[in-house]
DNA sequence: AAGTTATATATAACTTGTTGAATATAAATT
DNA sequence: AATTTATATTCAACAAGTTATATATAACTT
């Protein structure tokens, strides 16, 4: 259900098509909820069936028609209820196939693990750059669209994402060091 | 597929029933891959169909029969291939409904957000205790079952989990402070 | 003695998420 | 001029994950 409410939350800011919703997801909720475009479209259909949103087709000359979705009062109520009612367990379920492989590390060929942890570290560093970019964008759009009240909360979530990534990079450095020393001892 | 390979990895250590597999998951892979018992049983069926495991029913007097699964050579090969072939993208997808709510924080009633972040912090602190317990258990069973080679990698993943949790607690403290100050300014 | 909780096993129904493909235009590149 | 890439929309098939339920014994609590 969280996908639905993430979408409803974004539709509170403004009306959007499925495509725009996906793009907005990618520059805001991306680091708290992953989703594929196909899932967005399917969910929009269901949301329309359940009157959480309405759609209107906007005819554009030469281009595709845009199907633009608006949140309904019913949708707003449902969102408001959801956002105020937190689940019992606040720790997010984890599904991380990288670290499972590390767990079974004695079955990984010697240099392969080092190589993959280095790659992991690089990807986390890139992710940090992405977050920094998103932070700037958030600040810009808060001013442009008069969403200064929202910005405070956006920045809270960005701060958390940053800390998480820094912890990953920190771990990767320590892990690489430990593996190097282990190799040395075993000579 | 990662669930399957997590299960195969554990079955490399020893034969187990579905119930035991779930319990082992909960004290080892729990903080990298969540799963429900029902999923374990269904996956075992499929794994048997595809000859990654075989089962034999162990009759016990008075108690339920135990259906004990063993990894096959085919299963071992499949696992070995999987554990050595890392995915292109090493960053795990995230699905965290707690932090989405924080993102839309201006729609949360005043004291509710503070209350929920405090609850989040407490749950993370408990999770840290759990990890510490798992760490001790890992060290114990490594000695008892002569899995000292594995222990090194287990501890790597535990180290990572710890760092992640500490980052969460750290964020929660900062967030609570920021929210307190924000409230003060707005008076 | 009765009720509850933990252990132990498993299936069915449902919901959610992923993969891959189909369709079509505009803009950029070779 | 032809090809590729980006924009834009959607659906069908499949895989994975969740919820609810059923069964049964042992151990513990009231």
| Domain segments of chain A as ranges | 2-84, 97-185
Measured CA A40 to C1' C29 distance, in angstroms: 32
pLDDT of residue B187: 67
Test B2 with A159 for CB contact under 8 angstroms: no
Whole-number Å distance between alpha carbons of B178 and B157: 32
CA B43 to mean position of chain CA atoms: 17
Q: Are the C-beta atoms of residues B9 and A104 closer than 8 Å to each other?
A: yes
Q: Residue holding tokens 């399917």?
A: A42
- Residues contacting residue A28 through CB under 8 Å, at least 6 positions apart: A10, A134, A138, A154, B103
- B80 CB burial (10 A radius; 0-12, 13-18, 19+): middle
Alpha helices per DSSP H over chain B: 2-13, 18-26, 37-49, 73-84, 97-103, 110-144, 148-185
pLDDT of residue A178: 97
Residue B153 CB-half CA count within 13 A: 20
Measured CA A63 to C1' D3 distance, in angstroms: 22
Report chain B's mean pLDDT, rounded to a whole number: 92
Measured CA A25 to C1' C27 distance, in angstroms: 25
Best mutation target among B36, B81, B83, B165 (most A Cβ atoms within 10 Å) is B83
What tens digit of pLDDT does each residue of B129-182 get?
Answer: 999 989 998 998 888 888 889 999 999 999 999 999 999 999 999 999 999 998
Q: Residue holding tokens 């699964």?
A: B69
Which two three-digit tokens encode residue B77? Answer: 């090969």
pLDDT of residue B131: 92
DSSP notation for B35-71 = --HHHHHHHHHHHHHTTSEEEEEE--SSSPPEEEEEE
What tens digit of pLDDT does each residue of A116-153 get?
Answer: 999 999 999 999 998 998 899 899 888 888 888 999 99
Whole-number Å distance between alpha carbons of B7 and B26: 12
Test B86 with A119 for CB contact under 8 angstroms: yes
What tens digit of pLDDT does each residue of A62-108 get?
Answer: 566 778 999 999 999 999 999 999 998 999 999 999 999 999 999 99
What tens digit of pLDDT does each residue of B16-43 get?
Answer: 999 999 999 988 998 999 999 999 999 9
pLDDT of residue B62: 60
> If you classify domain B2-84 with CATH, what class do you get?
mainly alpha
Q: Are the C-beta atoms of residues A53 and A70 closer than 8 Å to each other?
A: yes
pLDDT of residue B146: 87
Test B92 with A83 for CB contact under 8 angstroms: no
How close does chain A come to B60, measured CA to CA in Å?
32
Segment B57-79 mean pLDDT:
83
pLDDT of residue A140: 87
CB neighbour burial string for A163-187, b if at least 16 within 10 angstroms, e if fewer? bbbebbbbbbeebbeebeeeeeeee
Whole-number Å distance between alpha carbons of B102 and B61: 54
């Amino acid at each position: 259900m969280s996908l639905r409410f993430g979408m409803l939350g974004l539709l509170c800011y403004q009306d959007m098509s499925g495509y725009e919703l996906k793009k907005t997801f990618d520059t805001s909720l991306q680091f708290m909820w992953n989703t594929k475009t196909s899932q967005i479209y399917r969910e929009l259909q269901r949301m329309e069936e359940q009157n959480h949103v309405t759609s209107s087709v906007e005819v554009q000359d030469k281009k595709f028609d845009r199907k633009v979705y608006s949140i309904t009062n019913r949708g707003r109520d449902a969102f408001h209820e959801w956002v105020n009612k937190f689940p019992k367990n606040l720790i997010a379920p984890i599904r991380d196939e990288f670290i499972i492989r590390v767990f079974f590390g004695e079955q990984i060929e010697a240099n392969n693990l080092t190589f993959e942890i280095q790659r992991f570290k690089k990807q986390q560093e890139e992710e940090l750059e992405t977050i920094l970019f998103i932070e700037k964008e958030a600040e810009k759009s808060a001013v442009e669209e008069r969403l200064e009240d929202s910005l405070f909360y956006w920045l809270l979530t960005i701060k958390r994402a940053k800390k998480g990534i820094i912890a990953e990079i920190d771990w990767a450095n320590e892990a690489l060091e430990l593996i190097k020393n282990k190799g040395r001892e075993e000579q």
